[in-house]
Amino acid sequence: MIHADLELARRLEAGEAAIARACSEGRPGTAILEAAGGIAVFAGAESPLTQAVGIGLHGPVPRAEIDRLESFFRRRGAQVNIDLCPLADPGLLEQLAARGYRPAEFNNVMVMRLASAEISPPVRARCTLPDEAELWCQTVGLGYFEQPELSEEEMDVGRAICSMPGAHCYLAFADGGEACAGGALAVRQGLATLFADSTMARYRRRGSQRDLISARLSEALARGCDLATATVSPGSASQRNYERAGFQVAYTKILLVA
């Protein structure tokens, strides 16, 4: 068992914040604000990348910091989205409640120690080739947005991840050889973060995510990581797949919006 204390939460949320920064930094129309011990990212008013991450984990948050964070989003025409860790300073939740924030979704943060981990070799998943960036974006986008075609804005979400410095993108393939699922890996100070998991609807329940998890964990081990993490919807098929791979729930985060 892994005990979810403040030190672990800071490490996991710092990894999440680093991914948010790397996906947005230097891209046209994006902005980043360091605030309340974490960061806020704007990548478009409707982008799922637009949110604040890792705030409140280093002590009380002054009201002025929340004002600054809210202004960052609102002056760009975006809703304020705060991905709140339950180990954040308790006073922060009280302040946000007083400001009328409401819960929008829950997410379970999963963790796994990699020391002596037994990882099954992937059967149909591998790292993307240099010319497969658009294929990866399309595959992941179709699974995530669950619609027949993707807009340029939706493709741009995948492109931001695929072009992220240090990102490792993976594809899984169906029996006929077509790409059917994808995922990404980021490594930071011995922490492997598995993210952007997506399987196209018609290919689900065939083991694609299991292979993607195995491929990324093998890479994490090769890079000397001691801990792996992933964020999933509570009770989802993704949670079951990660649990089967050896992950456990560290804590549950809540997305607060105003």
pLDDT tens profile 32-59: 999 999 999 999 998 889 999 999 999 9
> Residue 25's pLDDT band (boundaries 50, 70, 90)?
confident
Nearest Cα residue to 199 out of 236, 146, 235, 161 = 146
Other residues' Cβ atoms within 10 Å of the Cβ of residue 90: 11
φ and ψ at residue 101, rounded to 5 degrees: -65, 150
Residue 230: pLDDT band by 50, 70, 90 thresholds?
Answer: very high
| Cross-strand pairs, 84 | 254
Percent residues over pLDDT 90 in the chain: 85
Tell me which long-range contacts 20-23 makes (C-beta under 8 A, separation of at least 24). Answer: 20/49, 20/51, 20/53, 22/164, 22/165, 22/166, 22/167, 22/186, 23/49, 23/160, 23/161, 23/164
Q: What is the pLDDT of residue 166?
A: 85
Starting at the edge strand found earlier in the chain, the sheet holding 51-53 runs: 31-35, 38-42, 51-53, 81-84, 248-257, 102-113, 227-232, 191-199, 179-188, 168-173, 125-127
Domains of the chain listed by start with CATH number:
6-108 (no CATH), 116-225 (3.40.630.30)
Q: Which amino acid, residue 27?
A: R
Residue 109 has pLDDT above 90, yes or no: yes
Q: Does an H or E element contain 8, and which?
A: helix 6-24
Residues 149-170 pLDDT 10s: 888 888 988 999 998 988 999 9
| Close Cβ partners of 190 (under 8 Å, ≥ 6 residues apart) | 224, 225, 226, 227
Q: Please tell me the predicted confidence (pLDDT) of residue 157.
A: 87
Q: State residue 20's pLDDT score.
A: 92
Is the pLDDT at 127 greater than 90, yes or no? yes
**Chain centre distance of CA 78:** 20
- For the entire predicted model, the pTM comes to 0.94
Range with the poorest average pLDDT among 29-43, 137-151, 179-193, 230-244:
137-151
Which H or E run contains 66? Answer: helix 63-74
